[in-house]
Amino acid sequence: MKTKISGVELRRIAMPLVAPFRTSFGVETSRDVLLVRVVTADGEGWAECAAMSEPRYCSEYVDGAQDVLRRFLIPALPKDGVDANAVGRVLEPFTGHHMAKSALETAVLDAQLRSAGESFGAYLGAARDRVPCGVSVGIMDSIPQLLDAVEGYITEGYVRIKLKIEPGWDVEPVRAVRERFGDDLLLQVDANAAYTLVDAQQLAKLDDFGLLLIEQPLANDDMVQHAQLAKLLRTPICLDESIESAAHAAAAISLGACSVINIKPARVGGYLEARRIHDLARAHGIPVWCGGMLETGIGRAANVALAALPGFTLPGDTSGSRRYFATDITEPFVLADGHLDVPTGPGLGTEPLPDVLDEVTTSSEWIPL
C-alpha cells in the first residue's frame, strides 16, 4: 500500500534524564531527541531517531541525522507515494546513517498502519500481549551506590539486571551484586566494546557468576576476535554494536562470534531489518533480545512491539518510562509485574501529548515533499 506524503516535520526536543547514565563511552544527563513526523493525505506517522548528541556509541549523532534527513533522505522519497516496505530500498544508495533511515521508515510505517487500522505489533508478528522487562544500570561511583540502584530496580519489579562494565569496573561490582541478590537474579553485563583480546583472562573471571551473557566485549568491527574470545569463556557472548544488518548477523553466527544477539532497530536501519535479523537468528536457534537507546514513549512503543516477536526469548532493555524521564512525551509506559503491555492501537498505538511536546520542543522544521 503506497502512502502519499505531503511533507515531513523534524522536531527536536530536550528530555532531562532522572539520573545521569554512565557507560564506558560517556555520561548522558539529558537526551537531545529528534522526532520525525510524516504527514500524509490520511493522517500522520511518528518516529524517534535514536542518535545521541555525540558520535560515541556509533558514528551517528543527532545534528548529523537531522542534516542527512533534510538534505538527502526525505527528498529521495517518491513524490507519488511509497510503501513502507520500499523505504529501505529507496534509501539504500545513501551509505550508512541507519538511525536516520530507521526513523524515516518507521514514521512512514506508522502512518501507513494508522491508516489501515493495524497495530505495529500485529504487523511485525507479535506473539504475546506483554513483554518481560530488564533494566540497564550504568557505571556508578561506588559499589554501595550500585547496590542501592539495583535494589531499587528489583523492588520495582524488573526481571533482569544488566550492569555496564569497563576495565576497572567489572569483576568486583558483579561479585557484589551476586552476593547481595543471589544466584536466582537474571544478571548480564555490557562492555560497549571497552576491552581487547588481551583482557581475555580478566573477562574469564566473570564466568564464576552465572551471567546470562557478556555483551559486546570487544571492538565493533572485530567479529574474528569475538569468535576467539568465545572459545575462552563459558559465559555466552552477545553482540550489539557489531550487528548492523541481517548480513552481519549471518556472518557472526557463521563465525561463532556470538551465541546471543541484541537487536536495536535503530542501529540496523529499522524495524523491518530488525525482523529479518530475528527470523534469521530464530532459524539458527540463536536467542535475541531488544536493546534500548534511552527512548521516549515513541521509540519505546515500537521496541515493545518488536520484543513481542516469538524469538525474543530474553528480557530486553524495554524499561518503563520513569526509568529515564520524570515526564514522558506520551502516556507513560508503566511496569506491571515486571512486564510492559504491547500497544494495540493503530500504528505505534501511542502519540505525543501536545502540551508536553510543546513544552520540551527546542526547534522544528517542515520539509515539503
Q: Where are the domains of the chain?
A: 5-117+354-368, 122-341
**Length of the chain (residues):** 369
Grid coordinates in use for 293? Answer: 537507546
The DSSP 8-state label assigned to residue 169 in this structure reads B
The residue among 5 and 324 whose pLDDT is bigger is 5
Predicted local distance difference test score (pLDDT) of residue 115: 96
Distance (Å) of CA 32 to CA 5, 13, 88, 212, 303: 26, 6, 25, 32, 19
What span, in angstroms and rounded, lies between the C-alpha atoms of 317 and 329? 19
What is the arithmetic mean of pLDDT over 240-269? 97
Predicted local distance difference test score (pLDDT) of residue 25: 67
Out of 3.20.20.120, 3.40.47.10, 3.90.330.10, 3.40.718.10, the CATH code matching 122-341 is 3.20.20.120
pLDDT tens-place string over residues 338-354: 999 999 999 999 999 99
Contact between residue 75 and residue 134 where contact means Cβ atoms under 8 Å apart: no
Predicted local distance difference test score (pLDDT) of residue 323: 84
Contact between residue 197 and residue 229 where contact means Cβ atoms under 8 Å apart: yes
Q: Is the pLDDT of residue 30 over 90?
A: no
Q: Is the pLDDT of residue 21 over 90?
A: no
Q: C-alpha angle 242/246/247, rounded to 5°?
A: 80
Note if 205 is an active site residue.
Answer: no
Q: Is the pLDDT of residue 131 over 70?
A: yes
Predicted local distance difference test score (pLDDT) of residue 28: 78
Q: Is the pLDDT of residue 22 over 80?
A: no
* Bridge partner residues of 312 (DSSP): 288
Homologous superfamily of 5-117+354-368: Enolase-like, N-terminal domain (3.30.390.10)
Catalytic residue among 2, 4, 164, 205: 164
**Residue 306: in which H helix or E strand, if any?**
helix 297-307
Q: Which single residue is written with the C-alpha cell 554512565?
A: 22
What span, in angstroms and rounded, lies between the C-alpha atoms of 68 and 101? 9
Predicted local distance difference test score (pLDDT) of residue 246: 97
Catalytic residue among 4, 101, 162, 264: 264
**Per-residue confidence band for 279, with pLDDT thresholds at 50, 70 and 90:** very high
Q: Is the pLDDT of residue 3 over 90?
A: no
What span, in angstroms and rounded, lies between the C-alpha atoms of 95 and 60? 12
Note if 101 is an active site residue.
Answer: no
Predicted local distance difference test score (pLDDT) of residue 324: 87
Q: Which percentage of the chain shows pLDDT scores above 90?
A: 91
What is the arithmetic mean of pLDDT over 305-324? 94
Task: Please give the model's pTM, rounded to 2 decimal places.
Answer: 0.95
* Phi, then psi, of 248 in degrees rounded to 5: -65, -40
Burial of 95: CB neighbours in 10 Å, binned 0-12, 13-18, 19+: exposed
**Per-residue confidence band for 192, with pLDDT thresholds at 50, 70 and 90:** very high
At residue 206, what is the residue type? L
Mean pLDDT over the full length of the chain: 95
What is the arithmetic mean of pLDDT over 311-333? 93
Contact between residue 112 and residue 84 where contact means Cβ atoms under 8 Å apart: yes
What is the arithmetic mean of pLDDT over 143-159? 96
**Per-residue confidence band for 107, with pLDDT thresholds at 50, 70 and 90:** very high
pLDDT tens-place string over residues 239-248: 999 999 999 9
Predicted local distance difference test score (pLDDT) of residue 18: 82
Q: Is the pLDDT of residue 172 over 80?
A: yes
Q: Is the pLDDT of residue 316 over 90?
A: yes
